[in-house]
Amino acid sequence: MKKIKFYPYSEETVALDISPEASSKFLPEWYKKAPSLINNGGISFGMIGTTIKKCMPIFDLITAGYMIPAPCDIYVDATNPEKLEWSIPAGILKLQADMFAVHAREQYEHLPINKDMYHKDLFRIFPFWSVGTPKGYSSIFLQPAYSDSSPLTALQAIVDTDSFVSNGHLSFLVEKDFKGIIKKGTPLIQVIPFKRESWGKTLESVEKAENIFSTQGLKLRSVFSNGYKNFFRSKKEYR
């Protein structure tokens, strides 16, 4: 089993007692509360009605990789259109200068930001944990997939974390006019390690496509539910 490494920034990082964990430990509240079946699983026209909660490709994305959470409560005030403001609890104010910053606006003026939705400032948060991976593996940094509603939207990127341990700030768009607290433990970024490989493409014939679709379709629909999960899905494991 490959190991992803998370490096603490300092002794204070460890003392804050909040560390990256497998994404499966951060299931969104909406997902946990959602029912799996429609009409209590009654069969109609030879089918069982299921909801998005039974979609394994979505589940696999939600639970992929690891989540880096907010290391403490973060107060954000985006009501002033010209200046984003922030603060953390008084007992750890000495960490604030290391934890937060904003980008110079010239750095991202060509980024197509919806100015009606987001504040002008691009918020930078240093989560106090850095990411390293084995040789040949990079990491994709994502907005937490299908997450609960959040005023923060992460800028997404790929870092070659085998040669460069990601030790910088994460960048976020902030919902315009938001004023409130991002709670300690709130997922900030989803980190999914992957193996770097070279790829090429092949355009297959219609005949081959029809043969594949017909064969897998019969197998998929030979059961009332969970066809993809039972016959095609490979289990993913992150610890």
Closest by CA position to 101, among listed 174, 10, 156, 170: 170
pLDDT tops 70 at residue 42? no
pLDDT band at 225 (very low <50, low <70, confident <90, very high): confident
Q: Give the pLDDT score at 50.
A: 83
Q: Give the pLDDT score at 121.
A: 94
Q: Between β-strands 129-132 and 5-8, what pairing exists: parallel, antiparallel or unpaired? A: antiparallel
**Sheet of 123-125, strands arranged across:** 100-102, 123-125, 170-174, 152-154
Q: Give the pLDDT score at 234.
A: 95
User: Cα(160)–Cα(165) distance, rounded to whole angstroms?
Assistant: 8
Average pLDDT over residues 211-223: 90
With beta carbons less than 8 A apart as the criterion, state whether 159 and 141 touch: yes
pLDDT tops 70 at residue 41? no
Q: Give the pLDDT score at 235.
A: 93
Q: Give the pLDDT score at 178.
A: 97
pLDDT tops 90 at residue 236? yes
Q: Give the pLDDT score at 168.
A: 86
User: Cα(34)–Cα(53) distance, rounded to whole angstroms?
Assistant: 7
Domains within the chain, CATH numbers bracketed: 5-27+63-195 (2.70.40)
pLDDT band at 217 (very low <50, low <70, confident <90, very high): confident
- Among 38-42, 102-106, 138-142, 232-236, the minimum mean pLDDT is found in 38-42
**Average pLDDT in the chain:** 93
pLDDT tops 90 at residue 49? no
With beta carbons less than 8 A apart as the criterion, state whether 152 and 84 touch: no
Average pLDDT over residues 142-167: 96
User: Cα(51)–Cα(43) distance, rounded to whole angstroms?
Assistant: 14
pLDDT tops 80 at residue 233? yes
pLDDT band at 45 (very low <50, low <70, confident <90, very high): low
Per-residue pLDDT tens for 99-154? 999 988 899 989 998 989 999 999 999 999 999 999 999 999 999 999 999 999 99
pLDDT tops 80 at residue 80? yes
Q: Give the pLDDT score at 48.
A: 77
Q: Give the pLDDT score at 138.
A: 98
What is the distance of C-alpha 163 from the center of its chain?
A: 22
Categorise residue 2: left if φ over 0, alpha if ψ from -120 to 50, beta otherwise. Answer: beta
